[in-house]
Structure formats: structure tokens, C-alpha cells
Structure 1
Amino acid sequence: MSGCPAPYPAGRRPLTLGAPVHPPRTPAETETALADELRTVRPDLLSPYAAELPGARSAVLTRLWRGLALEPLPWVTRREAGHDGPTLRLADGRRLHGPRPDAYATASTVTEVELDGTAYDHPAALMTALGLPHGRPFATELADSVASLALSRANQASFGGPSEAPRTLWEWEQRVVDGHPFHPNCRARPGFSVAEQLAYAPEHRPVVRLGLVAVREDDCRSTGEWPYREAGRLLIPVHPWQARHVLKDEKPVGDGMSAHPLMSLRTLAVPDGSHVKTALSARLTSSVRDISVYSITSAATVSAFMESMAGRLDGLLHITRTLGAVTAGTADLAAVARESPELCAGTGEQVVPVAALAASVLPQSPRWLAEFSRLALTVGLRLLDLGVALEAHGQNLLVVLSPAGDPVRLVYRDLADIRISPARLARHGIPAPDLTGRIVTDDESVLRSKLFGSLVAGTLAATAGSTPALRTALSTAVRDLPRTPDLAALLEEPLPAKALTLMRLSPERPGDLWARLPSPFADPLVLKRGAFAP
């Protein structure tokens, strides 16, 4: 058995897995609909888009199969090894078979997965055939992810390719074309037309015009020094998609400001040099994005606390300071202003988002990967020991490179999802900040999963690109690190990683769900007598 929880809650009748569930559009209809829009707004992209579709289907199917094969899915009752890959026995008796997955690979490709002998080369078609609870909206998102990914790839030829290194941070951010390296919804943008994707998505390299909505200062809640104001009113930058689809009654004032979208799409680099995180109530990858009142009211406290914690790390970490945060009493009309990570670059240095490393022209030798891994683990583990778990995925974590291209220190931004342990802080004589809510926890499992799942299973795995490369880099990196209980857990236990597919199929279970992946420190996985267990 896989060691998964019981397939269904006690007293609840199982849903039939085999009944086909049809999304509003078939995968072919989704791809054709995008082509029809392209014919109107960018006919020059029709041929490149069609050429990119097979690769996009495979890229999304690869991510989906990784989740199906490795995550603790309640409707998978057994995983059996085979010479050509595992077979998953489903609760209704069917069998799902595909290639052997590398939990940490980013370059591998899966071209088809078999369900009871029928081969599927499209992830949305496979999800539809599985007929799972909550599978219908997920299949729709998978089809959207494929079509949008093909569009993103198709539009790169007009930029001349990655022949030279970007000059600014926002140019680095816009090099991330394929999105999340492990999420099946890596490019899903439901609710965005083709014209809107081309106008707002960072990989299409647009300039976005942010509107400014004026709200009486007395009607707002804010922290820090909000930089945009006039005559007793606060000016809240609003993304044009949000203005059109959500804030239909709010009228922007003035001319707004031009901005370059960063890889998160809703955060943009603005002319004064800062970065503005806008409310954008759309589903991107896992969840509907907004800015909660909780994160607004705690922003200044968290920022000041994390600046003080970074000061304990001998200059190895810089925190992008929150300048101000404001909400008009709703998550749909709110914004956060942060300083740019570029401020911590010295002469000749450059700041690169870690997610952009794979798309860069910079050399990434085994020695470089080991040095970067040592730097990242040193910072992450020291902070964890002190009492802070970073969510150090490739979007939040940036690396400062020397003029020679060596990793010298880290930058961390967007503090909304860190975790703070008062008990650990107290052991080191550090006063806990005046905070409550989800950001505060002493649960060892939560703290380690937050850091290890984002930094090791996410950032370092994606940068390395495969289990052998990750194992080599980590084995070198940990040699001189202090042997703390946290490092022992990292070395000796399965590696936590967000169960991204399970989370999309479990809308009734809010929050993070976790898979336990084979330790990258272990020898290559030996499959014994047909028992395959993630």
C-alpha cells in the first residue's frame, strides 16, 4: 500500500471514479479558441503557436504525471514498479501507467500516460478520463495551461532569443517563460483573454499602465509610509485586469503610471524604482490571488522584524523593505509597495531571481551549483534555527552575483508567507514580534516543510534540474554546515514538497498539502519486489 490516508471520510459514500466528466470545452476546443483570438489580435503568432502546442502538451503532462506518481492521492490504492515505470492501481480497479518519474527533474518530458491501456498525450484529456471528484475544473485549467504555455513560447521569437544577459531585474523576470517548474497549472490563466495575456503577462514583455484609485485616507487601513497620495486621499495602484473585471465601479484618477510586470504578474516595477504588488483576483496556478487585510496590517511589523533578523546573518541576506501597504477595507482594492532588490547590488554586481537562472546565459557548473546551494542552505538553516522559516521558492528568492558570476549573497522579498516561531526565538533570546495569525507557529513539521519544500524541493531542485545534479550539489554544500536537528531532518528524512496536484483536486481542504519525496541525499531509489512508494 502507498501509506495514503483512507480514500474517503468515514460515513461518506465513495464517488464513482470511472464516470467521464466533461469540461466546458474539450482540449482541442480550448486550443482552437485561443487560435481564433490570435487570428484577430496577433495573426503573426498563429503558425508559431501551432508549432509549440505539442511541446506544451508534453510539458504540462510531465508536471501532471509527476504529481499523480508521487503525491499521496487518496484514490490511488497501490503503486507498483515496472521496468519502464510505475503502475498506479486506482480505487475503482483501473490502472494508470507512465514513465518512471524523477521527482526533481525539470528537463524530462512525458509524451503519453496510459489509463487501462488507452494512451493520453494531453493532460486535460487524461484528467477528464479519470473522472475524479473536482476533476472538471482542473481539466479546464490544464487545457488552459497548455494553450497559454504554447502562446508564451510562440511569442519568444519576436524578442530575439536569450542571446545576451538582461540588464535590469525586470528583464530577468520576463525570461521565465514556462512558469512554475513543477505545477501542472504552470501557465493557466483562466479569465484572461489572449489580448489580455499579451498585454499583461511578463513573458510577453509588455508595458502595463496601472490605474490609480483615490480613496479618502480615513476610509483606508495602511501601514508604513504609503508613497502615493494627494490632498488627504491615498492613491491605490490598480491592475487594469482588476479594474475591468472586478472593480467596475471604481474610476482611476490621473494618468496612472507605466510599469513592467514581474514574474508573479500582479507585481510590477514602477518608474520610481520600487515594486508594487497589486490586488489581482484571478486564479494563477494554485489559488485565487488577492491581498488580505491581515497581510496589510501586519506588513510593517513583519518587514521591520525581518530586517533585524537578516542583520544576524553576516551580510548573507538582504530583505526587500516594505515601504507601505494599504487597503480600502477589501482584498480586492489593496496594494503593497516594496523597495527593489536591485538596491542591494554593488558595483558590477547583478541581482537575478533564482527562477530565471535556468533561462539565463550564465554558466552553471557543478561547482557553481554547489556554491549556490551552500549559500542558500546556510541562510535558510540559520534563520530556521533562530526561528524563521522562509518560503524561499524561485520567485521570492534572488541571488546577488559578483562581476565574475559567483553567488555572493541572497535577497528575499514578499514576506506574506513566512512562518515565525516564538519558541525558537525565545531560545536565542530574541523578542517575538507583535503578531498573531497564520504567520506564527511553533510546529516543527510546519516550519521545516515551509523551508525545505520551497528551498530544496523547489528552488534548488529546479536550478539543478535532476536528482543526480541536485544530489551532487547538496552533498558538497552540506559538508561544512553545523549539524543542527534541522539539518539532520533534511539529511535523514523524506523531503517535503507541496502536493500541487492533490491541492487542486482538494478544494474542500484549505491550506498546504504535502507529499514526501525520496531524499535527494539517498542513493538512487531501488524498487523492491514491485512496491513503489513516493
Structure 2
Amino acid sequence: MHLSPSPAEEAVAAELAGVRPSLGPSYAAALDGARAAVLTRLWRALAFEPLPWVVGRERSPDGLVLLLAGGARLEGPLPDPYATGPFVSELLLDGRPHRRAARLVTALGVPHGEQFAAELDACTASLALSRAGQPPATGDPAPRTTWEWEQRVVDGHPYHPNCRSRPGFSVAEQLAYAPEHRPVVELGLVAVRAAECLVTGDWPAELRDAGRILLPVHPWQAAHVLKHEQVRPGFAAHPLMALRTLAPADGGAHVKTALSARLTSSVRDISVYSIETAAAVSAFAQGLTERLDGRLHITRTLGATTAHSPDLAAVLREPPEVYADAAAGERVLPVASLASFAPARSSAWRAEFARLALSVCMRVLDLGVALEAHGQNLLVVLSPTGAPLRLVYRDLADIRISPARLARHGLPVPPLSGRLVTDDVTVLRRKLFGSLLTGALGATTGSAGAFAEALAEAAALPAGADTEALLTGPLPTKALTLMRLSPGVPGDQWAHLPNPLAGG
């Protein structure tokens, strides 16, 4: 059935005709697939998240029926909580077919649904644009660098309905800045008097000038947020999958910039708290890796600075490539890019990777640190034959640290307070399980059956309360749709997915 374009889809087509008309036909051809991809993610959320207006769920061999407040019925296929490929092209609301996530949310009439529907519409159009800009598979050379692998991640978040939501970005800006379009981005520099900045770590001499700190700024931020700041020419860089983090074209430290736009769920600025704690957390993390027998490296935060504003801040971070022996043929891949890595499609490779990831990350949790080990933060070092050797973790801004667990193992407690520090077992397990299990490993395997095979590697983990929780209980995942529909509720909200090892 042919669908006429939605308002957001039409708007992108119109802009594209002006800035890159050659992509018009491939954009139009990509719309149906983008609609199914976003609808699939939405159906997973509706099926599993604790949405207050879903009052019942009826499963049958043929599908799932959601009973909604007010008496409506929403029908669809049985959802696979760990599937990454689109398996839903149509849902029935009281018998009426819906093939667009945005129009379905509008028809549901739920609180705060109007804004969410607009986001889904824009996300669908952006996803089609991202797919349209890809080179033919036959003419696409194999990636040589980590940043090239990162730019292979076209669809964004594997489970979030807002997987490619980029509000505030024009079509021209998406083509100029989004990693999947493979641009080179010219970062600017804003000079701020050193006395007006908070600096932690070592801020390099080349980013200082006559008593001023030179802060790298993203060009989108300069145009839309820092309108009254004088921006100097900076340097060229390749955007990573995080979009606001970039690898300088001439090499060196990766640059995390403030980007005050909402991408998927969060505004990507840099809090003053993150700058304050950056050096201490990085030093602490380096000491922690000594307990991991070389199986985990954590990229160091080299320097961080802020003009006491989340909109004007930057972090310089060690590139993950420093932990691979290029001369020996090793390379580093972000876990989110493994879908493009042919060996990762075999069950034997996935089991080997799961064994490595589970043993390392669960050991770190036992020591007292819950990593946010999703596919963007977690990378794997590969041998010349493609075998997973060890892990690299980057971006320490949202880990959780347990003083009680550290003390139990005789590890020093870093001089920190605030949101990074907690002894709450539920918080610690949600942080790791919700990123590594229902995020990175689930997305790498791509289905509940394959995930069960990979998760079986957890049976070899040392016995303990964390392992028991992993093996026997439901698995936590962020309730991303509930969070978007609950703008007045701060912090993360959670859902639970069936654990294939526990039977539910």
C-alpha cells in the first residue's frame, strides 16, 4: 500500500531538493523501510514498557493484543524484545491499520503524545535521509580506522523509537555534521579568559592563547546557541557516532563538544559537574584496570574545561586506538558497529565476545563500578583474524561507583560525591545490565534466540548475587518511550524484559 509523505517527510524532501537533489530518489525509496524500523521500535516499547494507559496484554501464538484505557485494542505480531531488524510494518488499532509510528501515537491520544508524535515523524524522515546517503555496498571500501567503523552505524539507537531524532538540524546540517553522511567537520574555537574557566586535567598549550583557554565548539552550537560568541577557525575532524564527539583529522585526542540539542532522549551539553569530576574519575579508572589482567582498557580523560556553562565546555579524551597494536594487525571496533563486521554474524564469534564482555564487566561491577557499557561506549580490540581479544571503554561521565564495594576489595574510594556515587544495588545493576545486556549484547545478537545463546556464557561467571540476578531475573532496560511521554518526571525510568535463561 502506497503511503503519501507525512509533513516531516515532505519537508525533508523539499530541503533535499535544494541542497542535494541527487539524493532525492534514494530518499524516497528509503521511506518505507524507515517507517517500518521506527514502528518496530515503538511496538517493542508498547509491548514491554510500564505505560500507564496500557491496562492489559493478551498473548496468543499469532500475536499480542494491548488493552488500552478507554477500551481500545492495539494488535500486532508477537514482539521479540531483542530483535534489531524491522519485523512490524503494520499495527491494528481497533481494526484500523497503522503503518506510521507518528500517526499511531496521535491516534492513541495519550498524554504528551502530540510532541512525541512529531519527534517520531521527524525521526522517520531523518532515518530515511541517513539510509539514502549510504554508498552502494559493492563500492564501499572496508573501514581502516575506528572512526570509519563508527560511521557505519547508520540507524542510530537499535531500540529507541527516536533512533535518528535530530530536532533543530536542517537537512543541510545533517548532511554536514552527521557521521553516517561521512563529512569532515570544521570545529571552531572560542577564547575565554582562563580566570573565567574551570579546567581539570592537562589542557594543552595549543589550545591556550595569551591567558585565554581556547574551547573547541561544534559549528551547530556556534550557529544556534553561542550566537554572541566570537568563534575563531579551529581544526577539521571526523564526527563519531555520538555526533558531538569528533576525531581530529590530523590525529590526537578525541574532542567531546557541547551540543545543546535533544538527540534521542537527552540534550547533549556538558554539565559543570562532569568537568569538575573528570580528572578524578579518569585517574580512579586507570587504577581500577590494574585488577583486570589487561582485558579492559579505559580511555583517559586528558583535559576538560568549561566556562561554567553546560553550553560552552569541552573534553579531550584519549582515542581508543592507542590500546590496539596496529603493527601486529590489531584494530578497535565500537560494539555498535559489529553489525557491519562479517565474523560477528557467527554464533561462535558472538559467544566468544559475550564471554569476554560478561566476564570483564561483571568483574568490574563486583569491584564497585557499574559501566554504561552500551554499543557506543564499549569497544572491542580484534586480532588480525577478527577474534575478540580485550575491551576498551570510553566516556566516564555516567558510570556509577560504589564506595562499599570498593572498600570490600581494598580499593581506594575516589574523592567524589553526587550522582556518580551510590551503593544502591538496584541502581548499579540497572546501569550495567541495561546497557551491556539489553543494549550491547542484545543488539549484537539481534534476536531473543541468539541472545539466549550469548547469555548462556554467563553460566561460567563466578557465583554471587550479581550473577544470580543476571541468570534468574528479568532484565532491566530503560523505558525510553515512557520517558519521552513523561516530561515532568526526572531521571531514568525502567522496564523489564524477559530473560531467556530464566524463562521470563
Q: Report TM bin, short chain.
A: over 0.9
Partner in structure 1 of residue 63 of structure 2: 85
- Equivalent residue pairs, number: 496
Partner in structure 2 of residue 257 of structure 1: 235
- Runs of 4+ that moved beyond 6 A: none
Letter in 2 for 1:350: R
- Structure 2 CA distance for aligned equivalents of residues 213 and 207 of structure 1: 20
Partner in structure 2 of residue 484 of structure 1: 464
Partner in structure 2 of residue 275 of structure 1: 254
Partner in structure 2 of residue 168 of structure 1: 145
Select the residue among 271, 293, 302 that pairs with 1:323. Answer: 302
Partner in structure 1 of residue 159 of structure 2: 182
Structure 1 residue runs of 5 or longer lacking an equivalent are: 1-25, 526-534
Q: How does 1:311-350 map to 2 (within 5 A)?
A: 311-346=290-325, 347-350=328-331
Letter in 1 for 2:178: A
Letter in 1 for 2:255: V
Partner in structure 2 of residue 7 of structure 1: none
SS of the aligned residue for 1:468 comes to helix
Task: Give the TM-score taking structure 2 as reference length.
Answer: 0.97
Root-mean-square deviation (CA), in Å? 1.3
- Structure 2 CA distance for aligned equivalents of residues 162 and 332 of structure 1: 40
Letter in 1 for 2:18: T
Q: How does 1:381-392 map to 2 (within 5 A)?
A: 381-392=362-373
SS of the aligned residue for 1:54 comes to helix
Shift of residue 72, structure 1, vs aligned partner: 0.7
Select the residue among 104, 111, 114 that pairs with 2:89. Answer: 111
Q: Is the 8 A contact 1:61 1:123 kept in 2?
A: yes
- Structure 2 CA distance for aligned equivalents of residues 131 and 27 of structure 1: 21
- Structure 2 CA distance for aligned equivalents of residues 162 and 401 of structure 1: 24
Partner in structure 2 of residue 246 of structure 1: 225
Q: Is the 8 A contact 1:27 1:124 kept in 2?
A: no
SS of the aligned residue for 2:492 comes to coil
- Structure 2 CA distance for aligned equivalents of residues 373 and 180 of structure 1: 20
Q: Is the 8 A contact 2:459 2:471 kept in 1?
A: no
> 1:49-96, CA deviations, whole angstroms, 9 ceiling, x for partnerless residues?
000000000000000000001111111111111232111111111111
* 1:445 correspondence with 2:423: no
- Please identify, of 453-462 and 359-368, the stretch whose mean Cα deviation from structure 2 is larger: 359-368
Letter in 2 for 1:145: C
Partner in structure 1 of residue 53 of structure 2: 75
Partner in structure 2 of residue 102 of structure 1: 80
More helix by percentage: 2
Partner in structure 1 of residue 38 of structure 2: 60
- Structure 1 CA distance for aligned equivalents of residues 500 and 244 of structure 2: 33
- Please identify, of 337-346 and 159-168, the stretch whose mean Cα deviation from structure 2 is larger: 159-168
- Structure 2 CA distance for aligned equivalents of residues 214 and 473 of structure 1: 49
Q: How does 1:423-438 map to 2 (within 5 A)?
A: 423-438=404-419
Q: Percent identity?
A: 66
- Structure 2 CA distance for aligned equivalents of residues 353 and 164 of structure 1: 18
* 1:46 correspondence with 2:27: no
- Structure 1 CA distance for aligned equivalents of residues 111 and 340 of structure 2: 36
> 1:191-243, CA deviations, whole angstroms, 9 ceiling, x for partnerless residues?
00000000000000000000000011001001000122121111000000000
Letter in 1 for 2:320: P
Q: Is the 8 A contact 1:495 1:519 kept in 2?
A: yes
Letter in 2 for 1:506: S
Letter in 1 for 2:491: G
Q: Is the 8 A contact 1:87 1:96 kept in 2?
A: yes
- Structure 2 CA distance for aligned equivalents of residues 493 and 378 of structure 1: 18
Partner in structure 2 of residue 412 of structure 1: 393
Partner in structure 1 of residue 361 of structure 2: 380
Shift of residue 165, structure 1, vs aligned partner: 2.7
- Structure 2 CA distance for aligned equivalents of residues 520 and 412 of structure 1: 27
Partner in structure 2 of residue 3 of structure 1: none
Going from structure 1 to structure 2, the CA distance change for 1:295 and 1:119 (only over 3 Å counts) comes to same
Q: Is the 8 A contact 1:162 1:360 kept in 2?
A: no
- Structure 2 CA distance for aligned equivalents of residues 300 and 191 of structure 1: 32
Partner in structure 1 of residue 263 of structure 2: 284
Q: Is the 8 A contact 2:473 2:502 kept in 1?
A: no
Structure 2 residue runs of 5 or longer lacking an equivalent are: none
Partner in structure 2 of residue 236 of structure 1: 215
Shift of residue 27, structure 1, vs aligned partner: 6.5
SS of the aligned residue for 1:281 comes to strand
Point out which structure has higher relative CO (alpha carbons under 8 A, 6+ apart): 1
